Structure 1
Amino acid sequence: MARGGDHRLFDVVLDDTIGRSTPDIEHERAVAIFDLIEENRFEPVGHAGGPYRLKISLVDSKLVFAISTEDDGSVATHILSLTPFRRIVKDYFMICESYYEAIRSATPSRIEAIDMGRRGIHNEGSQTLMDRLQGKISIDFDTARRLFTLVCVLYWRG
């Protein structure tokens, strides 16, 4: 798998400020972290190279990305308002509910249409995340998608 040198995440940690949830949600978080670590391109602007550990926390309803190197050297901390994501995440959860409901009873064409909408909203969230990180952290679109999935799972309360 192409990793783009050392510009990648080797670890993602959810701080205690995130809080713990049900076993199902904890599983979804673990899967999202696994997928993100498995394949990503993550390059803090102005830093020579990693790989990097990303510690995610919530402080005053803001998402905090604390980035360090393998030897725990501090690289940067970026704070993102969650406000630009609230509508997208809400829409994403609503369409996911429709999708799971449709799987049980809808026609294949209806399921496909809902799934296209779900992917479209996920792409919008991924692009918003890339835009918010511009000039701070360079990531590719696939990494943005995986990171946005993790942000969604942080919102998910079950």
Structure 2
Amino acid sequence: MATGPAKDEKCCLVAVTLDKDTIGQGPPDVEHERRVAIYDLLEKNRFVLRDYADEGPYNLRLQIIDRKLVLAVDRQDGVPLITHILSLTPLRRIVRDYFLICESYYAAIRTAMPSQIEAIDVGRRGLHDEGSHLLIERLKGKIEVDFETARRLFTLISVLLWKGQGR
């Protein structure tokens, strides 16, 4: 479990845990993205449970069960608040395309010209943004997140799904 610094705000995450049974061990590039996403997420985020806005800050556990994303949210002191279960079907195409372009990007940064790397990275960021907007929409009415928080959560969801893609 990664833990961030103490926060004065109630509208934030202070700890994020990825289910070890779901995540597995990914390639070094994927592991690096996971660590960076968790670090950045804990440094700055906006995360508010609609029905428990006064109960924050929060701890978040992410896992994949039966092709569904499970977001288990506790108070900072560990008292469980709510578990949201979301179908991954709306995200699958974006995540699949994101995996493909990430593989191209990781290969390119080792051998390609800077202009080629930049072109691939533009596409990668575009898919990442699309997934982030979709995640915000899917959480609407349940959990309020800002765009940067959604981007980092999308990265973590992608890391969780990496194992399931046979990579």
TM-score by length of 2: 0.83
SS in 1 for 2:51: coil
| CA distance 1:99–1:137, shift in 2 (3 Å) | same
Q: Partner residue of 1:9? A: 13
1:93-108 to 2 correspondences below 5 Å:
93-108=99-114
Conserved 8 A contact 1:130-1:144: yes
Q: How many residues align?
A: 156
Answering whether residue 41 of structure 2 is matched by residue 40 of structure 1, we say no
Please point out which of 3, 24, 27 is paired with 1:20: 24
Which ranges in structure 1 are unaligned for 5 or more consecutive residues?
Answer: none
Partner amino acid for 1:51? Answer: P
Alpha-carbon separation, structure 1, partners of 2:26 and 2:106: 19
Alpha-carbon separation, structure 2, partners of 1:89 and 1:39: 24
Partner amino acid for 1:45? Answer: R
Identity across aligned pairs (percent)? 56
Report the Cα offset of residue 17 of structure 1: 4.0
Conserved 8 A contact 2:18-2:160: no
Alpha-carbon separation, structure 1, partners of 2:155 and 2:23: 17
Q: Partner residue of 2:87? A: 81
Alpha-carbon separation, structure 1, partners of 2:133 and 2:18: 22
Conserved 8 A contact 1:43-1:49: no
Alpha-carbon separation, structure 1, partners of 2:35 and 2:112: 30
SS in 2 for 1:156: helix
Conserved 8 A contact 1:10-1:52: yes
Report the Cα offset of residue 37 of structure 1: 1.5
| CA distance 1:30–1:103, shift in 2 (3 Å) | closer
TM-score by length of 1: 0.87
- What RMSD in Å do the two structures reach over aligned CA positions? 2.1
Report the Cα offset of residue 22 of structure 1: 4.7
Alpha-carbon separation, structure 1, partners of 2:73 and 2:121: 34
Q: Partner residue of 1:138? A: 144
Partner amino acid for 1:72? Answer: G
Report which stretch shifted further, 17-26 or 125-134. 17-26
Q: Partner residue of 2:70? A: 64
Partner amino acid for 2:140? Answer: Q
Report the Cα offset of residue 77 of structure 1: 1.1
Alpha-carbon separation, structure 2, partners of 1:22 and 1:121: 20
Conserved 8 A contact 2:63-2:160: no
Alpha-carbon separation, structure 1, partners of 2:31 and 2:129: 23
